[in-house]
Structure 1
């Protein structure tokens, strides 16, 4: 095993690398599932983090992406992507061992060490990820990208769902603040460290093609100036910035809201996350089909407002008195958010590529990614500060209906996080307005797109009523792989007459 690139890759080398690429997803997915998302936020609360610290923690992965700019220059000079990816992964994931030891401590010092470790993990992950992406584009043949990454995505999703359920059970069996809860957090981060190091070992075994010779140094400032000079793409950037700010102002604090204000267990939050992921997977095919048939903007025009309304509807959880009703309300909202964010993520990525001129896509996509990183990074920090402000405010509105049968009173009380979700919704509505100014060929009216969504949903429900329909509903990964194989066979069949 060597970390140096290979001048020539044989077919056997490439096939071995692709198999390792899929296998590695089990371990990298396991590390992420046990040490990020809801679990990371719950761990911060376990250590006594304030709302501001939770906001900083949520901002780190996004702001760290800005390190990809110097990482590009490092890769171009060093030209050893595997070395960069492996070393960054090894150093970064040892920080998980530090976090595991912090499970038995609390106070300001533990929090500062925790934030520093997370900062190093995110920063090194961004540098390693930049090298990884460039390396994978050269390793995986273009005609097999769909097949390989579909299989990888299936493993990532499956591992995330299974470990999410296991973590929910572990939290459900231990009391908050107990020694057993300390041990659960320590075990999760220690297991994440081990699986992360195994992932780095597998990555080190994968072959790296030699990078092509340098053709000259491009002026990064000039490249980034091109997208800003395009009026239509500039309008898209305003939408991306306002949208990312709105959703990242709210979503990182869902765990804090549900645990601290609604007083539900962390295990319930993890189950909500699992439900959201399942809805995301099931809706992805629908949005992909509609975006191909019509336009990405049409999909965004449906998904974005629905997601924003779901964020605002989180206020309803604090108004309902019955705990069972609150649980059902939160499950429904997370299903809606999971399904709609799938469409937003898919369509926003596609529209950025579609509006990028041929030959200049790199600069346009990089500008879009940096806009996302800045907006999504600033939002949770701002949210943490606003949370402190709204914590001491309250707005009460009483609706009263009088009739001969009596008086019906409906009190509406907005406190703390309720203001917060309402503000995020207002910014989200502004983002939807900015989206309406973007021009994309093939777009249709929102009402027509809603009709298409309903038609697709009715067709899916009719299919589910049969055994064949049940099989089709659970056949997403296999369908993706079959589609990829059919495309490969078709391409080979077209090439055979030329070879003869």
Structure 2
């Protein structure tokens, strides 16, 4: 690897700890916020609506970022995040005890206790996470933010692959309660390890408000900021889709495709393997091409992915391992790319003054929509129930209708990208030309024998 030129911006000393924090954090949160927790709740008899609540707590409770943002200057970025992350680790240790209480608690009571602990975990996370984006934005130079986000996503996805493989091998086909307990305990230990690296990330001073400020936050002015307003509209459409896709493909594979917990977790690892591909595909292109064309490409492909789920749920295509892996892998790749592009676009569009409140509102709009969505999707799926009708070679049932509706919302998000404001962004055609023509040519020129 060649040395960076003097003009190339550099990350501050000690920033590598942010990647180690991301690694151990991924080993922790993927267990309590994704498929393993959904499968445990399902083993306790949770309905689709309750599964929606389980998945939605994390994004919904981000709403507390808005009142919490004003307290960041009192503690500083690092102390604020560290305090919240430490509290949430304590809640994970509590979750590890729940599966062991089955000897004297029925499933309904265990599920209620689990929901209470998840609420505490996600509340502490929601409050403390308001300092994360302003902190990282202050640390990472603008010219290399896309590169940082791609590397961070690769680290998180690699950690997610590892933890899903571990969970799949550990739980097997018919997991016992103690196995879920040990898995949650592993999550707690990994979360505690992440805190040691979080404490070593360089801190920066919190930008001060201008002299003479009344202390009142001009939320109306923030919402009227045109570039920011359009980002919010697009990210909320995407959140409706992304929120549902975190829970109901797993529910479909368990209830309709009748796959075991271990096999579902093994297949779910493909989702994060695809997410790692975002580093290869967009690691350098995100800074060069901009976020707007990346979002358009991600949403366009996501419509096709949802079409594949629709055909499989509608029994027009068999639920084969190869098809499920292809859908999950491509879903992970383009969902990670869209999330990176949104974060980078927000970093570029938010002004320095009032940054904490801009990012708090951005996170709340994205996450609260993402939290409400699975509850509403779950209610829709429960309401459809056992309805089945066949037309155009496809069976219309609760899951095929869900995937079809999600595809329509993704189309709306795709149309919304045309209104995003990013002056330095390349066109969609230029991004496609680079992906389909220039990149393959560069690859072959490197392999071509010389001399």
Please indicate the TM-score interval, normalised by the length of the shorter structure.
Answer: 0.7 to 0.9
Q: CA deviation at 1:452?
A: 3.1
Residue in 2 aligned with 1:75? 72
Does residue 1:252 correspond to 2:247, yes or no? yes
Distance in 2 (alpha carbons) for counterparts of 1:20 and 1:235: 34
Residue in 1 aligned with 2:387? 393
Which shows bigger deviation, 18-27 or 288-297?
18-27
SS class of match (1:314): helix
SS class of match (2:389): strand
The answer to whether the Cα contact below 8 Å between 1:284 and 1:339 also exists between their aligned partners in 2 is no
1:376 pairs, out of 359, 363, 370, with: 370
SS class of match (1:122): helix
Aligned length: 433
Residue in 1 aligned with 2:98? 102
SS class of match (2:298): helix
Distance in 2 (alpha carbons) for counterparts of 1:207 and 1:163: 28
Does residue 1:91 correspond to 2:73, yes or no? no
Q: CA deviation at 1:445?
A: 5.5
SS class of match (1:264): coil
Distance in 1 (alpha carbons) for counterparts of 2:297 and 2:205: 44
TM-score in terms of structure 1 length = 0.75
1:367 pairs, out of 344, 361, 373, with: 361
What's the CA shift string for 1:278-313, capped at 9, x where partnerless?
222223342244444434222222211211321232
Residue in 2 aligned with 1:342? 336
Written as runs of structure 1 = structure 2, the 5 A alignment for 1:38-437 is 38-76=35-73, 78-79=74-75, 83-104=79-100, 105=102, 106-131=106-131, 156-172=156-172, 174-175=173-174, 180-200=175-195, 203=198, 219=215, 221-222=217-218, 224-320=219-315, 326-356=320-350, 359=353, 363-397=357-391, 411-437=393-419
Q: Which entry has the higher C-alpha Rg, 1 or 2?
A: 1
Root mean square deviation, CA, Å: 3.6
Q: CA deviation at 1:186?
A: 0.6
What's the CA shift string for 1:300-351, capped at 9, x where partnerless?
222112113212321222345886x622111111122122223212222233
Q: CA deviation at 1:53?
A: 1.0
1:117–1:327 Cα change, 3 Å:
same
Higher relative contact order (CA 8 A, sep 6+): 2
1:48–1:192 Cα change, 3 Å:
same
What's the CA shift string for 1:433-462, capped at 9, x where partnerless?
222233443556645543432225634774
1:64–1:165 Cα change, 3 Å:
same
The answer to whether the Cα contact below 8 Å between 1:22 and 1:148 also exists between their aligned partners in 2 is no
Return 5+ residue gaps in structure 2 as ranges: 1-11
1:284–1:422 Cα change, 3 Å:
same
Distance in 1 (alpha carbons) for counterparts of 2:205 and 2:286: 37
1:243–1:321 Cα change, 3 Å:
closer
The answer to whether the Cα contact below 8 Å between 1:51 and 1:385 also exists between their aligned partners in 2 is yes
The answer to whether the Cα contact below 8 Å between 1:320 and 1:326 also exists between their aligned partners in 2 is no
Q: CA deviation at 1:62?
A: 0.8
1:447–1:167 Cα change, 3 Å:
same
SS class of match (2:176): helix
Return 5+ residue gaps in structure 1 as ranges: 1-13, 399-410, 468-500
Distance in 1 (alpha carbons) for counterparts of 2:290 and 2:204: 37
Distance in 1 (alpha carbons) for counterparts of 2:149 and 2:340: 15
The answer to whether the Cα contact below 8 Å between 1:287 and 1:342 also exists between their aligned partners in 2 is no
Distance in 2 (alpha carbons) for counterparts of 1:24 and 1:293: 27
What's the CA shift string for 1:40-68, capped at 9, x where partnerless?
21121122211111111111111121111
What's the CA shift string for 1:2-42, capped at 9, x where partnerless?
xxxxxxxxxxxx96x65655554454332224333111211
Distance in 2 (alpha carbons) for counterparts of 1:86 and 1:56: 26
TM-score in terms of structure 2 length = 0.82
Q: CA deviation at 1:419?
A: 0.7
1:63–1:136 Cα change, 3 Å:
same
Distance in 2 (alpha carbons) for counterparts of 1:148 and 1:247: 22
1:288–1:135 Cα change, 3 Å:
closer
